[in-house]
Amino acid sequence: MSDSKSNATFADFGEVIRDHQSFALLSHVRPDGDAIGSVLALGFSLMAAGKTVRMINEDGLPENLAFLEGSSRIEMPPAELIEVEVVIALDTATKPRLGDAALRSVSKAGLWLNIDHHISNPAYGDLNLIDATSPATGQIVYEMIIALGLPLPAESRDAIYVAVSTDTGSFQYPSTTAKTYEMAADLIRRGLDVGTINSSTYDNHPYRRVELMRALLNTLERSADGLVAHWEMTDATRRELELLPEDSEGLIDIIRAIRGVKVAVFFEELPDSKIRVSMRSKDHSVNVCEVAMQFGGGGHALAAGIRMAGPMDEAKGKVLAAISERTSAV
């Protein structure tokens, strides 16, 4: 195996897969398309290779991703400890983000693998495959499956596409590479129905999501220089509209798209009075990961998040001041 703990190779992972039979695949709380898609893609590939696989998420399967073939195999952490040899964490920047119940359920495992594309990942696995240049963990999973000659069944094919599409803003973000488009072309050659899967991903929202958008627009503010746009969602709005965590997914791109805006920020009040902060930067002149890390968060240069103490006004003041320091220098 390669010597560097934080820079294992596909061959290193292939050796583990070959030498073990049972695997548990985990991804972060409040999972998005890349988290669920990466778990399904690798999970179904391993099952097609004859392995025993459990696919676990602390919060279960989001409603908006239930259209993915095989997604019913995603389970919430069981009460009993799982008998499993290898745990693979996917698309999760820090181990606690996997959730307490999920971590407990796999605590008997002897080997931890970590596959991710977040630059802030501290390499918490026994073997780590962290590629911060990749636009999505789903693309790393695809490249590993191809490199190792693992099966790529239809469930894996579709899950990879959704993972990468959702994490690249439908292949729009600057992190999208030629390899990303080549991967998508290969998936289509393998039978991906691109029109149907895009419609299921982007044109199938519940009405409450539109009601949320209306509520958010009523809180929209811009900085005096027009470089920062932000809006907020209270816990009262969440309760009133009976929102699910995934209902806000991607809405921040609406204010990110405002002409002249460099940074978009979404402040969300959580039921435990903590504040969840999502940030998007339009280009590399403002690194929002650096802002997030000031408050114990992390992510990417152009997309990062924080979970911090409230109240809302106090959290907003601190984060907006830290962003202003950077935008004023642009």
Instruction: Give the span between the Cα atoms of 74 and 56, in whole angstroms.
Output: 6
- For position 72, what pLDDT does the model report? 97
Tokens of 169: 């803003």
Whether 68 and 137 share a structural domain: yes
Residue in the block written with tokens 């026994």: 126
Whether 185 and 242 share a structural domain: no
- For position 299, what pLDDT does the model report? 86
Whether 246 and 270 share a structural domain: yes
Has residue 4 got a pLDDT over 90?
no
Instruction: Give the span between the Cα atoms of 118 and 233, in whole angstroms.
Output: 26
132 is a domain residue: yes
Whether 162 and 254 share a structural domain: no
Instruction: Give the span between the Cα atoms of 234 and 8, in whole angstroms.
Output: 42
Per the DSSP assignment, residues forming a β-bridge with 111 are 86
Domain that holds residue 251: 208-327
Has residue 187 got a pLDDT over 60?
yes
Whether 70 and 158 share a structural domain: yes
Sign of CA dihedral 204, 34, 142, 111: negative
Whether 189 and 242 share a structural domain: no
Whether 238 and 317 share a structural domain: yes
Question: Tell me: the pLDDT tens digits for 229-258?
Answer: 999 999 999 999 999 999 999 999 999 999
173 is a domain residue: yes
Whether 173 and 65 share a structural domain: yes
How many structural domains is the chain composed of?
Answer: 2
Whether 58 and 182 share a structural domain: yes
Has residue 210 got a pLDDT over 50?
yes
Out of 155, 186, 202, a domain closes at: 202
Residue 316's pLDDT band (boundaries 50, 70, 90)?
A: very high
1 is a domain residue: no
- Higher-scoring residue by pLDDT: 144, 272: 144
97 is a domain residue: yes
69 is a domain residue: yes
Out of 202, 220, 247, a domain closes at: 202
The size of the chain, in residues, is 330
Has residue 260 got a pLDDT over 90?
yes
Residue 300's pLDDT band (boundaries 50, 70, 90)?
A: confident
215 is a domain residue: yes
Question: Tell me: the pLDDT tens digits for 37-80?
Answer: 999 999 999 999 999 999 999 999 999 999 999 999 999 999 99
Whether 320 and 191 share a structural domain: no
119 is a domain residue: yes
Mean pLDDT within 88-92: 97
Cβ atoms within 10 A of the Cβ of 311, count? 10
Domain harbouring 104, CATH code: 3.90.1640.10
Cβ atoms within 10 A of the Cβ of 42, count? 30
- For position 6, what pLDDT does the model report? 60
Q: Global pTM? A: 0.90
Mean pLDDT within 98-121: 95
Whether 214 and 315 share a structural domain: yes
Burial of residue 330 (CB within 10 Å: 0-12, 13-18, 19+) is exposed
Domain harbouring 300, CATH code: 3.10.310.30
Work out the mean pLDDT of the chain and round it to a whole number: 95
